[in-house]
Amino acid sequence: MQNKLNTTGVGNAIDRVEGHLKVRGMAKYASEFVVPNKVYAQGINSTIAKGEIVSIDTSEAEKLPGVLKVITFKNAEKLKAFDKKMSELSTTSIAPVLQSNKVHFYGEYIGLVVAETFEQAQYAARLVKFNYKEDKNPAINFDKSRGKAYKPNEQSDYSRGDIKAGLAEADEVVEVTYNTPIEHHHPMELHAVIASWDNGKVTAYASQQIVRDATICISDTFQIPKKNVRVIASFVGGGFGSKLNVERHVIMAIMAAKMVGKPVQVTVTRPQMFTNTGMRQSNEQKMRVGAKKDGILTALSHETLSHTSPTLEFQEPCGMVSQMLYKVPNNLVTHRLMPMNLQTPFAMRAPGEATGSFALECAMDEMAWKLKMDPIDFRVKNDTQMDLSTNRPFSSRLLVECLHIGAEKFGWKNRKMQPRTNKNGNWLIGYGVSAASRESPYLKTYAKVILALDGDTVNATLQMDATDIGTGSYTIVAQTTSEYLGIPVAQVTVQLGDSDFPPTPGSGGSWGAASFCNAAMAACEKAIKTLKANRNIKEEEEVAIVDLLKQNQLKAFEAEGSAEPSEAFKNHSVFSFGANFCEIWVDKDSLMYRIKRMVNVGSAGKILNPKTAYGQIIGGITMGVGMALTEQTKVEPNFGNFITRSFGDYHVPVNLDMSNIDVVFLPEEDKIANKMGVKGIGELGITSVAASIANAIFNATGKRMRDLPITPEKLIQAGMEVGVSA
């Protein structure tokens, strides 16, 4: 009988089970599959922000050796069109492309060249000539577009109480505006696809976070049965939300495969990652906070103005965090969108929370300063165990514990409330804090477990169409299977990323770990329950899986299971919570600054693997640092193209920009959240990091930084806050 303790299951910090494949270059990403007779295609981008194509000359490109096809709106396959103008973009939205001569933004796909080699396709794409009737007044200026702002839908606004009365009741009011720029996701793996069309059936090796939704988009766009579409994403080299939905390069590759009768590979270039794979839009967030002298909040208003494209609608819910994080009786949240001639934005890591928490947590720090209260005490005083936006209790909420434990580990007691008073030579030293929250969704998920008996050893294969986007899905699913079958992880094989496998919600939104692992557990439990029932063994009796197979006289067995939210889940508000602490050193003369220390404390349910979870938090913090210090996509004010178009000018943090980081996970198992007590963690790590940095800079310099990224130039130009002595 196998010893159940001889496992490396849930909760252990084991190495990634797929790590050996990655270090040996054997983990296949979308563009690395060997497909016979494969050819290559290169997308062509518009060079105007708005207008019409009046003529196209493809002759020079078509004469080149190896060129198989030049596709434009003139000869493209007809695809399904949107039912209405400004449809809401989602992960299952259709993705029509090359359907008209209209140009809506600089960089929009207007053509595709298919050739025998990648180099031939790239060169030929440069030879296709387009003449335009250009609209000289595209909407590319944020301020000039304000007059076209509109309310997207009824869910865009939320209110409780009376915001005007709450502000009037306050002893102190903070009224400020925060700005965050356009950002781009930029995973290391470029977006890519290898698509084939065989007798009406589509197979796509694609870098997608949600393969099931990708099949829906493809089938709906081409108007073919969903059963005829297969999407495979065995490994995804990062996504951060940019690979949630199907982008146009996938549709162009499938179209080209049908037209040339061969599999077609399209790899999006790094410059095209700026114009064709989504982005986080610029947000202007007006905050109004009212509080009594004793620190009790009376009012909180969060009004966001953002932009979307002229054809599709996406709104980042920046105010969502302000609806639920603090106990405030009078609350107003609004979102407005402006159509602009820029590509459609879409979800980027912690959409809404990452940007919204910057505004909220900086405003909370500003109010604490006005009240002359410690920022932690101010937050604790306004804590709540009830989500006032839904009138549901939190399934668990350890925010106060995160703040107190983080303060102890960070050494918050050494902070000086008065800015510019903590010094070391020419350095001004500042401490900053911010609270973090992130909803922890849990979605219905299916899984299949296949058992194989080999002598006295049971090997298990767990299948689901979930994806691993670098987060460790393979590992935590293997650990769960190991745990609930009572076998070592070494005897578990996990197969992910194929739409032929049982359906899951895919990777994104911090729902992956809870959804995948509970489904894996359910499949294992179903197998054990069925095998016991076949031999009239009581469910509560412990029998090793090897003995169950032997008693059933089976060499192989498989079972499917599913997991979904309970009634208790639906009656509660389920979130992960955390706190960020940051120590900043700012040079008094140049105002160049360095992050010295960071502490992140999180309560995110049961931690399935501390090693992979730690990596997720470090990654989130790094993106938060980038948001605060370096990342911004700039629009050229005359033509509407992006000035930033490579890693040479779009700056992301490197090792020298980072600091010593301590990560603390509080022990928590939230059984209301799900049976395993697991919550999402991937997006909690980025949430409010930027605010902790900005708050630390104020504590060091006495200057409030309300526009990201925070550059030395902005610091030099900023004035001192009232009450700060130089």
pLDDT surpasses 70 at 617: yes
Q: Are 224 and 80 in contact (CB under 8 A)?
A: no
Using 50, 70 and 90 to split pLDDT, how confident is the model at 328? very high
Model pLDDT, residue 6:
46
Looking at residue 467, what DSSP letter applies? -
Q: Which CATH superfamily is domain 33-136+188-238+243-275 in?
A: Aldehyde oxidase/xanthine dehydrogenase, a/b hammerhead (3.90.1170.50)
Over residues 361-407, the pLDDT tens digits come to 999 999 999 999 999 999 999 999 999 999 999 999 999 999 999 99
Mean of the per-residue pLDDT values for the chain? 97
Examine the pLDDT at 4 and tell me if it is beyond 60: no
pLDDT of res. 499: 98
- pLDDT classification of 725: cutoffs 50, 70, 90: confident
Query: What pLDDT, on a 0 to 100 scale, did the predictor assign at position 7?
Result: 63
CATH class of the domain comprising 19-27+443-564: alpha beta
Comparing 2-6, 440-444, 470-474, which segment has the lowest mean pLDDT?
A: 2-6
Calpha distance 338→147 (Å, rounded) = 8
Q: Which residue has the tokens 């005490």?
A: 377
Q: Which residue from 255, 231, 267 is spatially nearest to 41, judged by alpha carbons?
A: 267
Contacts of 707 (CB under 8 A, 6+ apart): 178, 179, 714
Question: How many CA atoms within 13 Å lie on the side-chain side of 332?
Answer: 18
pLDDT tens by residue, 198-250: 999 999 999 999 999 999 999 999 999 999 999 999 999 999 999 999 999 99
Which residue among the candidates 172, 683, 713, 721 is catalytic per the annotation?
683
Q: How is domain 349-440+571-717 classified at the architecture level of CATH?
A: 2-Layer Sandwich (3.30)
- Report the SS3 class of residue 587: strand
Does 2 score more than 50 pLDDT?
no
Asked if pLDDT for residue 5 goes beyond 50, the answer is no
- Of 515, 617, 529, nearest to 569 by C-alpha is 515
pLDDT digits (tens, 9 = 90+) for 522-566: 999 999 999 999 999 999 999 999 999 999 999 999 999 999 999
Could you check whether 19-27+443-564 and 349-440+571-717 share the same CATH topology? Answer: yes
Model's pTM, two decimal places? 0.97
Domain boundaries, the chain: 19-27+443-564, 33-136+188-238+243-275, 349-440+571-717
Cα separation, 702 vs 720, in Å, equals: 6
62 in active site: no
Question: Mean of the pLDDT values across residues 705-717?
Answer: 97
Region 296-302 average pLDDT: 98
**Cα(264)–Cα(31) distance, rounded to whole angstroms?**
10
What's residue 292's pLDDT? Answer: 98
pLDDT at 141 over 70: yes
Residue 726: the pLDDT is: 76
DSSP state of 345: P
